[in-house]
Structure formats: C-alpha cells, structure tokens
Structure 1
Amino acid sequence: MSTGSAQAPRVRACVGLGANLGDAVATVRDAARALAALPGISGWALSRFYRTPAWGVTDQPDFINAAAVFETDLPAMALLQTLLSIETALGRRRAPDGRDRWGPRTLDLDLLLYGDARLALPGLIVPHPHLHTRAFALVPLLDVAPDAQIPGVGAAADILAGMDRSGIEAIP
C-alpha cells in the first residue's frame, strides 16, 4: 500500500496568446512571463511572435500572436481561471454581453489544447473550437509543438498545410 499522496497527472497544455491594442508585443511578452512563472510549470516553450491580420471583425489593428506549450498539473478549469486572471491583470476588460468577442483587445489567452482531452464545460471547450480554422493560431503552435494533434480533427501540421497563411509574418 502506498503511503505517499497522489499527484495529479501532468498534462501538456498549449495556450494561444494574442493582443492588438496598446503595446501588443510588450503585453504578449508580459503574459508569457506570467505563464512561465506559474507554480508547477515545466517544459516551457514559447513560439516566435507573429503579426497577423485581424480575424472575424477585420476592421481593427493587426494582432501579435504567439503560442506557449508547457507541462502542468493544473486541472483544465483551474488553468482557464489562471489565464483569465492574467488577462485581467494585464488590462483585459470583457464586455458582459460578449459584444467584443472578436474585437480589439489588450490581451487574449486561449487554452488551445489540454493533452488529448476533449472537453465541453461551461466557459471552456477544448480543443479550442476554432483552432483547426485559424492559421494565426496554428503557425505559432507548430513552432513549439510540431507534433501537435487536435483531438477529433488530426495533425495540426496537416491541417495548416491546406490553409491560407497570407499576411502572417514572424516578427524579427
């Protein structure tokens, strides 16, 4: 019989980072630092930063996008709450009615993948429900997780191969 306490299993989490208001590069950099500093994070990797055209509502500034991959023992909902806290700490304010869903933002942190989990919880769907349609998320994700699989969809690299990547530029 084991006398040690059970540890939560570690999961590879993939988070998309994006911003297009204020000093977006600095904000994404600060968000990445906050993520990397979370307790229990290991295997941390951050993609290059990319300038990407706005998606959804296109009449707004270009975005700065990146992706982070790391191992965590945080449950998915706890990780989501942490992401939302980082957004708030770095100036993100959400309209209560969601009218700003695809509009300009100081910061957006999306839980793209959580291991091979497929979750549909209040406020959280994993894999991110639009990941397989968004080159601006897949390009940085594949920088840090070239083997990424989107559960129920397939290999992220195969999906990206058939997508238009025009306007997505790595920032030197």
Structure 2
Amino acid sequence: MNDAWHGTELAWIGLGSNLESPHTQVSTALEELAGIPTTCVLAHSGLYRSDPVGPLGQPDYINAVALLRTQLEPHDLLDALQVIEQLHQRRRIQHWGPRTLDLDLLLYGQQQISTDRLQVPHPYLSQRSFVLYPLAEISPGLTLPGLGALFDLLAQCPMGTLNRIPV
C-alpha cells in the first residue's frame, strides 16, 4: 500500500434520495465523495429503487452504497458528508421524511461508535434491504461489528420490492 494511505480506515456510506431527480442526486453524490480530503472511493454499488420508509405519500427512493478509504476520523467524515448533503440543499424538516440527499456513515472499519451525533454501525442497518443488498454487492464477505456476517443479515431481510436499476 502507498505510504500516503498509512493510517487509513475503510468506511461504508449509504446514499439515498427521493426528491429533485433522485437518480441524478445519488449519481452526483457518488462523484462528490471522491472530493473529500484524504479519502478515496474504492467501490460503489449500482443504484436501487426502494419504497420509502417513514411518512406515507413520499416518492420512491434511489439508494446506493459506497466504500471509501479515508484518513479522516469518524466525526470528521460525518462533517464532510453533511457538507455534501448541504450542496444538495438537504433540509431536515421531518424525521424519515423526503430528502434531496441522505448520506449515512454505515460502518467505519470494525468500530462501534455511540455519540450524540453518530451511531456506527448505523441504526436499523440490519433491517434495511436498501442498505444490505447494495452493501453485499460491493463487500459480500463483510462481518459487521456487533451484528455478525452480512450473509446472515441478508437471510433475515428479504429483498421485498427493492430492485436494482438496470444500467
């Protein structure tokens, strides 16, 4: 490995959008992740269409998962993700409500983090097909800290109406 990446950690980011051209929002955000300082995008899943979670009457979501290698500490990475959300005019009006862009720090290496601002692994990760299936696409043999093997989590979380968008 290049010395420039000494002291790095792998981080998995969940992306989602259901407002203002969701496909474009997620695709653009995937590109913008590469602009985070001391961070590179190693891989990302395809795009998936999912039913909304939360208040009724929302449009469907477009989701993806990206794998990053970063030198940023978890809270600094969270700050960088929130900057990208703001570039997409993210408004936090309603819990689980519609949004232009949602970037979630799903996993940070094998760390378990619990602070007022950040929970890693991300809460509900093990129950969300729109996270688990894209995650399995890029990291199929992953073991999630405190949650177990991704393979086992997939067996307990049916794909349901989730579908991968053809390229």
- Counterpart code for 2:148: G
CA distance in 1, matches of 2:123, 2:67: 18
CA distance in 1, matches of 2:124, 2:41: 25
Counterpart position of 1:68:
66
Assess if the C-alpha contact under 8 Å between 2:41 and 2:66 holds in 1.
Answer: no
SS in 1 for 2:20: coil
SS in 2 for 1:84: helix
SS in 1 for 2:10: strand
- Counterpart code for 1:124: L
Query: How many Å apart are 1:41 and its aligned residue?
Result: 2.2
Query: How many Å apart are 1:43 and its aligned residue?
Result: 5.4
Query: How many Å apart are 1:8 and its aligned residue?
Result: 6.8
Q: Size of the alignment, in residue pairs?
A: 162
CA distance in 1, matches of 2:41, 2:20: 30
Normalising by structure 2, report the TM-score. 0.92
CA distance in 2, matches of 1:59, 1:139: 24
Query: How many Å apart are 1:58 and its aligned residue?
Result: 3.9
Counterpart position of 1:11:
9
Residues 16-165 of structure 1 mapped to structure 2, 5 A cutoff: 16-42=14-40, 44-95=42-93, 100-165=94-159
* Structure of greater Rg: 1
CA distance in 1, matches of 2:56, 2:9: 34
Normalising by structure 1, report the TM-score. 0.89
Assess if the C-alpha contact under 8 Å between 1:57 and 1:103 holds in 2.
Answer: yes
CA distance in 2, matches of 1:58, 1:134: 17
Q: List gaps (5 residues or longer) in structure 2.
A: none
Deviations 1:57-87 (A, max 9, x none): 2431110000000111100000000011100
Farther-moved stretch of structure 1 (117-126 vs 31-40): 31-40
Assess if the C-alpha contact under 8 Å between 2:144 and 2:150 holds in 1.
Answer: yes
CA distance in 2, matches of 1:157, 1:83: 27
Structure 1 residues 43, 110: CA separation in 2 closer, same or farther (over 3 Å shift)? closer
Structure 1 residues 170, 119: CA separation in 2 closer, same or farther (over 3 Å shift)? same
Q: List gaps (5 residues or longer) in structure 1.
A: 1-6
